[in-house]
Each structure stands twice: as C-alpha cells, then as structure tokens.
C-alpha cells in the first residue's frame, strides 16, 4: 500500500479559528516567480534539493503510484469551481500542473456547506487497488464543515480509466459541535483497520474509525481526542499519522497559517503505541496537554511550514517564500529517524 499522508495558484487558508479557503490574491501570486529550494532526488545529507516547475501548492497530499509522483492540493476558488488540484512529476523534482479532480463541486457539498468556495486539504490513500481521496469543505472562521470522499482506480489523469467517483460525506460538523471536520489524515492499524484523524482549532485533533471497502465511517461513536493545546484559540490542525517500526507518530501543524510572511506555522510530533493514542512527545508530555516535539519551523525566508503529508519516506509540506513576497510553495524533505526512533527533517 502506498499512501500520501496530502496550476494557477490555489487558495491559501487564513486566520485563527481554523484554516480557511480564501484566495490571497490570485493576480499577485500568479505574478510571483516561484523558486523552492527543496527536492526529492539527489538529496544532500543535510536536507532536500531543488524543485522546479509548478510549485504553487497548499496542503499537499503526496503519493507515489507506479513511476509517477503526485501531489493533490487545496483548490483555487477561481479555477474549476475551487476543486482539488493535481500535479505530477516523473522524477519527484520537476512538477507539472495536471488539472483538477472535477470541473464542478458535487451539489451535496454546496448544500452541506453554504458559501463554500473551494475544497481544502486533501488526503490520498490506496487500499486493495482503489485510491481514496478525502477532502475538506468549509468556510473561514466556522466549524460548519464536512469531509468528503471520492474514489478512483488510478491517480494518472492520462489513464483512460481515470474517474473520481463521488462517495459523499464521511464526517460533518455544525456550529453545535465542539470539533471542526476538516484536514483528514488516514492511517491503518496493525489489523488493517483504517482510522481518520482530523480537526482544526475548536477541541483540537479528533479521530473516527473507518471501514473498508467503502472508506466511510464504521460507526457513529463520538470522535476520539488525540491532541489539544488546552488554551484558546487552540491553534492546532492538519493531523497526519505515520507508522514506523510498530509505533505511530502524529504530526500536527500549530499556530498561524496562511498569512504569507507573517505566518507562524510549525510542525510538531508525538508518539503512541496505537493509532488511537495516547500520544506523547519526546519529553513525555501528552499531546492532549499541549505537548509536541518540534519537527520544523520557520528558517530564514522559508516561513511557516506546515500542512504536511508523507509518502515513501518523504515529507511534503507548504511554506511561504520570503524571497517571493510570501507566495506559498511546495517543499519535499526526507524523513529521517534517529537511534531512539524519533523522526526529523531538515531544510
């Protein structure tokens, strides 16, 4: 099984109270020459390498299928009805825009989330020959949100069998709930049962059990609690869980996304014996009590990294390029493991 988590400038999501799908200025971003200094092949010992091509991705879902790398990412409200964007690479270094998942959002999404402009933060996972695409629909500053699902037999837009089939809603939240149903991240436990972590602000990171082969919820149990900052505005989101040598590692993005050079996003991690937790950081502090071991943060003009996913030992994330006016870009960094089994990445 290969998993991720994860063209024209996609929408940046902004502000406290949850990541939001608002374009920050399409014309301005389109005019910026992007030049990320990260890459897949030929990585130096200290970090990653140069990427080239179309790198304007936000909340990248990284996947490797056959001989091709894919990044699915947050949509642009002015392009293809704001649908999830697709980019491809033959070598993981040079990236090309390959269109959008759909030309129009499913009608039920618009009905479920009035005012939704674009789809956010996709997740890709393959199971038994089927690709599952989870995505978020919401509006800025509210937890009236939904995580939807589509399936396909291939990720390749040039394959004649390529067709994303709408499977409807997986998890919803309303203003009566204490959680926010966005930012899905899927992991399987040792028995092959899928679990979906999700959440943004409100009560933090939550989790529900899914079921194969439909990829929908297994039951209507109250979502489990995985991570919480324990103080307003509870700026934690974008969960992604990686299994490594029998342990599970929950990566989350914290603080402020989507503010260009003023972004303070950073990625931290916790460790558990099971996907359901409890997760603790390297010092033993529970992630439910604002714990988290720092993985990556702002470094010079590479500002506010986050929105992470992992595939084939590579972490994908977005950051804001201070040398390009704060435009968001794709970064790919090798995920390394130390002698104590903790992960790290380097620019």
Does the annotation count 166 as an active-site position?
A: no
Q: How far apart are CA 146 and CA 135, in angstroms?
A: 8
Residue among 30, 11, 8 at smallest CA distance from 20: 11
Q: What are phi and psi of 167, to 5 degrees?
A: -115, 5
Sign of the four-CA dihedral 68, 72, 76, 81: positive
Q: What are the beta bridge partners of residue 319?
A: 329
268 near 317, Cβ under 8 Å? no
> Which two three-digit tokens encode residue 122?
């996709």
Which are the contacts of 88, defined by CB distance < 8 A and separation ≥ 6?
Answer: 68, 69, 70, 71, 95, 96, 98, 156, 157
Does the annotation count 299 as an active-site position?
A: no
> Which two three-digit tokens encode residue 345?
């990445």
Q: Strands, DSSP E only, in 138-263?
A: 145-152, 165-173, 185-188, 194-198, 205-211, 216-217, 224-227, 236-244, 247-254
18 near 180, Cβ under 8 Å? yes
Sign of the four-CA dihedral 123, 17, 227, 209: negative
Q: Exactly one of 54, 100, 188, 237 is catalytic; name it.
A: 237
Whose tokens are 């030929």? That residue is: 42
Q: Binding site residues for substrate, as ranges?
A: 59, 141, 180-183, 200-202
Which are the contacts of 38, defined by CB distance < 8 A and separation ≥ 6?
Answer: 47, 48, 49, 50, 51, 330, 331, 332, 333, 347
Name the residues annotated as catalytic: 59, 237
């Amino acid at each position: 099984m290969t998993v991720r988590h994860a063209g024209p400038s996609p929408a940046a999501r902004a502000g406290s109270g949850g990541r939001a799908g608002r374009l920050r200025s399409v014309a301005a971003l389109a005019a910026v020459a992007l030049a990320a200094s990260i890459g897949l092949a030929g990585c130096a010992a200290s970090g990653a390498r140069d990427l080239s091509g179309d790198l304007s991705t936000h909340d990248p879902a990284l996947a490797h299928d056959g001989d091709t790398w894919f990044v699915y990412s947050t949509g642009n409200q002015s392009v293809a009805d704001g649908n999830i964007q697709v980019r491809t690479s033959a070598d993981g270094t040079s990236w090309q825009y390959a269109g959008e998942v759909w030309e129009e959002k499913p009608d039920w999404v618009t009905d479920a989330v009035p005012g939704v402009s674009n789809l956010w933060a996709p997740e890709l996972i393959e199971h038994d020959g089927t690709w599952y695409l989870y995505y978020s629909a919401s509006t800025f500053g509210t937890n009236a949100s939904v995580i939807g699902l589509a399936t396909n037999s291939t990720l390749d837009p040039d394959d004649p069998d390529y067709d994303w089939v709408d499977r409807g809603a997986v998890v919803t939240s309303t203003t009566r709930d204490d959680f926010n149903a966005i930012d899905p991240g899927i992991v399987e436990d040792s028995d092959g049962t899928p679990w979906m972590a999700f959440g943004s602000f409100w009560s933090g990171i939550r989790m529900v059990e899914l079921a194969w082969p439909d990829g929908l919820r297994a039951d209507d149990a109250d979502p489990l609690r995985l991570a919480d900052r324990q103080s307003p505005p509870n700026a934690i989101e974008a969960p992604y869980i990686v299994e490594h040598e029998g342990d599970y590692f929950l990566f989350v993005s914290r603080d402020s996304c989507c503010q260009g050079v003023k972004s303070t996003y950073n990625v931290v991690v916790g460790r558990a014996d099971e996907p359901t937790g409890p997760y603790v950081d390297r010092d033993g502090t529970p992630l439910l009590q604002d714990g988290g071991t720092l993985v990556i943060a702002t470094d010079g003009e590479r500002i506010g990294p986050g929105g992470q996913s992992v595939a084939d030992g590579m972490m994908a994330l977005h950051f804001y390029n201070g040398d390009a006016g704060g435009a968001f870009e794709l970064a790919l960094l090798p995920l390394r493991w130390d002698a104590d089994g903790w992960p790290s990445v380097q620019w």
